Chain A
Amino acid sequence: MSSTTSKSALGEFLGNLVRAPRAIYRAAFRTGAPTTDRSRSDFVFGNVFLHLHPVRTHRWSLRWTTTLGLGIAATAAFLLTLVTGVLLMFYYKPFPEAAYESIKDIHFVVPTGRFIRNIHRWAANVMVVAVLAHMVRVFFTASYRAPREFNWLIGMGLLVVTLGLSFTGYLLPWDQLAYWATTIGANIAQSPRELTDSLGITEQFDPGGLQKQLLLGSDTVGAESLIRFYLLHVMILPLALAALMAVHFWRIRKDGGLNRPEDADARLGPAPDATYPVFTEAPKKTYHLAAIVQGRTPAVRRGPENTVPSMPHLFYAELGVLMVTVLICVGLSLLANAPLKELANPSVPENPAKAPWYFLGLQELVSFSAFMGGVGIPAIVVVGLGLIPFLDREGAGSGDWFGGPGGARLVVWSAIVGLAAVLAVEAFAIQFGWIRQWFPHAPQLLITLVNPGTVLTAMYAAYSIWLVKWHNSTRAGALGLFTCFLCGFVVLTIIGTHFRGPNWEFYWSPAQWPTH
């Protein structure tokens, strides 16, 4: 405790105090300013938000046509809904009537509230579109193949959670649109009863009733359902989505980055001058020590050449796509308000009561048979999609759009077949009706099994089996089946959205709907 040491300690203390801001900065950003390729790589490594990216990105991955940026767009839309959703939670009250009034408040008096809600709504729609389009892209570039099969399954999980998020959000405003769309959704969940009823086993085995009960917490949509949907919408599903997203992104890296054709390097040509080769000198770090343990990495036989530093090249692309997504959502939000109808009224049904647009294809199928449309066919589609990577074990055409036997020509033909089939079946059903109109006493089981939806599914399945035989290629069958289902989905969705009016009757345009 001599005075000299205390003095110098005091000076050191003051010096530390002066240096503290800089020290804090250094502690946060250890790598310094990212001015060289190496420091940029270090920066990417050292940043928790960036380290999911590779430090170097193959030039093929940065071509716009490789991915169309759809995965990033979906992520960006999710981030937008996340941020705006948290903001909306400041004012939203999850209780009937109070919920409706709080949305009115958000619309009319909350600063920026209406804009934020519009963005939330539009971003949710953009997210659904982006996720679907992303899946289409992955399928048509055959990027689901080994070693990416499992990531395809994760992606399907993400699709289901995305739809679930969107559907649960639908009820929260507690208006007529919300109430009746949810009522229909809940009754679709109950639709296995159609099958169990016609088999006469509902008393003993009632999965449909259980599903509805679990979803609503009650027999009808009410306060219990609202709080459940709220919990699902703001807690369970977002957490599930975030967890699946983390796995999805991590698997992209572990599966060797974005899929690219074998001959990608040759097709890209020599790297531009500004691109620095990786192995000019001894690398600072040894990569893939883990490979010794694991025995195999996707990067085997592929040198890290023909790559560019992720920072900044990949980040410009990602930020650019993010901003484009934001631009689309914000622009749509300025153009059109998120809908808010009358306060939910359980005694006055909406006519027509329509689900969210991406479920209207299902609702069209449901109008033929609740079970097959709402549960049976979706289950067939989900299982079929999930099995694709395990059934198609070919290698040719991977990473190319429509790669495979016949390629784009096969897809075009399949689209024609798919469109023709769905239009023919729909036109027939609209024009001539179905079994119930001809034989009023036909058993329900017959209608459940044989209805336009199942007929269409069977036609698509038969067509794709024929393709497998004809081209002697599983990829051909997969391409054909996927294209057909895509056409079916699009056409049914358009019919459900635009051509169905009160009582689910066919109208050429909403202007022809009767006024009552």
Chain B
Amino acid sequence: MNKNKHLLLWSSLGVLALLVAAAVEENFLKTWRRIQASASTAQGPIDVHLRQIVVPDLKVTDRCVSCHVGMAPGMADLQGGPVLAAHKPMVHDPNEFGCTVCHGGQGLATEQADAHGEVRFWPEPMIPTRYASAGCGACHSHLRVTDLGQMREGRNLVERYDCLACHRIDGRGGTLRPGGAGGMEGPDLSHVGITGLDPDWYQEHLAQYEKAETGPWKHSFGPVDDKDRQAMEGFLKSRVGASELIEAKALFHSLGCRGCHKIQGVGGDDGPDLTRFGERDPHLLDFSHVPGEHTFVHWIAEHFRWPAKVVAGSKMPDLGLTEPQIDKLTLYMLSLRQSHFPEAYWPKDRILVERFREREFATDGATLFGTFCAACHGPAGEGRRFPESSPFPSVANPDFLAVASDDFLAETIRRGRPGRRMPAWNEAEGGLRDGEIAEVVAHLRRMAGVDKPEVVSPRPRWVQAGVDPGRRLYAAHCAGCHGAQGDGVEAPALNNPILLSTATDTYLLETIRRGRRGTAMPGFAAPSSPAYPALSPTDIESIVAFIRTWEDSSK
């Protein structure tokens, strides 16, 4: 019967050994224990225990401070490794907001890989430190941006006027007063966009300039003209602590990405809605065509380099971006998040947009056109073509604007061209409001230098001509580009129901008569080539009548 005793003896000893191993692992080998044991203050070593920041309103329980002890409440000034460093001075105190609200990662975890979220089954990995300001996007989802060009100009002016001699901006510039007493000569302007500019700053500077005989005031400050001052103020107002993010967002807007991508309900429909793109679970992405480490950042950057390689079948054109641009856009992509915090925690910009219907972008025609239209129609509205797609109409063409009424233009923008790439931009679909669409129309007219249509139709429909000659003429002269059924091979589709319902007969007739200079559309008032002879007004009317037949069939 001794074998049962042996069974008991050896299995018990085995259990004991395993339990001891587990106890040692838990009580001595945890990383946070070692880190805390190595830390000390001026008074001596610190207590070794788990630490956490709890913010019930934000549903935050962040144990990051178990390792990053220097960021725990009241634990600054620790000696030890770099992990013990205190947080750099911030607008948002980590003790009030926690860590994961901005940085992502798994606040509940107490081990590095889990906490940084670099594990399977944690869909919100930490935002890499390099792109840390992307975390701002979670709450500041409606950061206001101005036009990238204006912002650059403002920055250049700030440098040219030598503001950095006294002021510090984003860690650059500024001079200490002699002896260091009293700090900097001028206030740090890195976050001046939050507090707002002193409205009298220019008058005060000018007064100093006029008082001074010699010295820095005389040399580095002088009168600034209004235009430059506005540009500088525009730049300074964007200094809110996440300037990289603002610049990245401005770049995104200036590249016209929102012509295809919706964000917060405003934008085109050609590409996927990007509203919460930054929250995507990296483990659900296809990395088979992404070299290097399988991180979200790599995926995004590689996608910007070769869209169709990373996502098979992607319609996104190769934008020919530079690496710094890709880096900025990657930052912006990571920032596309949306937190669900109580409104008391919302930043001003978000309240203005979500509660007071303000816009996060400038609403002048130029900015709107650049943000939403230019990606397809070209920065100057000249029309464009991308491989494997029919050309986009040249909307700033003077011949077009000479025959198109403002109503026609606005209605076209509002309702789009169903079935074609042009989406409907009305508030329910593309997100633009009527006033903004009017601004875009005005901008088109400014670009073309045509401030009102030259011909005005007496009535929308007046053509009475017979259809049959029109059918023959269309087949001979138009079908080559516009397609036998008007479905638009190379040229715009003519059988589009929205076009047919909004275009007047005069518009169609005049377009055929005059053509569009600078595009493939010839005018038929006079012979332009052997293939395109002159057509009589009756001929043209019959073509219009023929085009109108598609209206009935499409109804």
Contact = CB atoms under 8 A, between A and B. Distances in A.
B284 interface: yes
B542 to A, nearest CB: 52
A109 B63 contact: yes
B22 A323 contact: no
B521 interface: no
Interface in B308-362: none
B323 to A, nearest CB: 27
B436 to A, nearest CB: 33
Contact of A115 (B22, B108, B122): B22
A104 interface: yes
Given A108-B114, A515-B286, A313 B15 contact: no
Interface stretch (B4-12, B256-264, B397-405): B4-12
B111 A108 contact: yes
Contacts, number: 78
Contacts of B21: 334
Interface string B12-24: 1011001101100
A334 to B, nearest CB: 6
B19 A330 contact: yes
B63 A108 contact: yes
Contacts of A330: 15, 18-19, 22
B391 interface: no
B148 to A, nearest CB: 36
A515 B287 CA distance: 8
Contact of A326 (B11, B111, B123): B11
Interface stretch (A136-144, A314-322, A374-382): A314-322
Nearest to B26: A112
Contact of B284 (A108, A316, A327, A516): A516
B55 interface: no
Nearest to B111: A108
A176 to B, nearest CB: 8
Nearest to A274: B1
A323 B1 contact: no
B228 to A, nearest CB: 52
Contact of B15 (A109, A321, A323): A323
B288 interface: yes
A320 B1 CA distance: 12
B110 interface: yes
A428 to B, nearest CB: 33
Interface string B396-423: 0000000000000000000000000000
A108 B108 contact: yes
Contact of A109 (B22, B110, B121, B284): B110
Contact of B1 (A111, A313, A324): A313
Contacts of B63: 108-109
A112 B106 CA distance: 20
Interface in A158-201: 175-176
Nearest to B12: A323
Contacts of A331: 14, 18
B428 interface: no
A109 B115 CA distance: 13
Interface string A106-138: 001101100100000000000000000000000
**Chain A contact residues: helix, strand, loop or mixed:** helix
B286 A316 contact: no
Contacts of B284: 516
Given A330-B18, A330-B19, A321 B114 contact: no
Interface string A296-327: 00000000000010000100110111011011
B192 interface: no
A111 B108 contact: no
A340 interface: yes
B15 to A, nearest CB: 5
A341 interface: yes
B212 interface: no
A317 B109 CA distance: 42
Contact of B11 (A104, A175, A323): A323
A281 interface: no
B4 A316 contact: yes
Contacts of A108: 63, 108-111, 114
B26 A316 contact: no
Contacts of A323: 7-8, 11-12, 14-15
A316 B2 CA distance: 9
A319 B5 CA distance: 9
A265 interface: no
Nearest to B11: A323
B312 to A, nearest CB: 11
A62 interface: yes
A341 B121 contact: yes
Given A109-B50, A515-B286, A516-B284, A320 B109 contact: no
B4 A317 contact: yes
Contact of A104 (B19, B26, B108): B108
B5 A316 contact: yes
Q: What 8 A-B pairs are tightest by C-beta distance, nearest first?
A: A320-B7, A323-B11, A320-B8, A316-B4, A104-B108, A317-B4, A341-B121, A324-B11
Given A104-B106, A323-B14, 12 more contacts: A64-B3, A108-B109, A112-B22, A112-B26, A313-B1, A321-B7, A323-B8, A324-B11, A327-B14, A330-B18, A330-B22, A516-B286
Interface of B: 1, 3-5, 7-8, 11-12, 14-15, 18-19, 21-22, 26, 50, 61, 63, 106, 108-111, 114, 121-123, 281, 284, 286-288
20 contacts: A64-B3, A101-B61, A108-B108, A109-B50, A111-B26, A112-B22, A316-B8, A319-B8, A320-B7, A320-B8, A320-B11, A323-B8, A326-B11, A327-B18, A334-B18, A334-B22, A341-B121, A342-B122, A342-B281, A515-B288
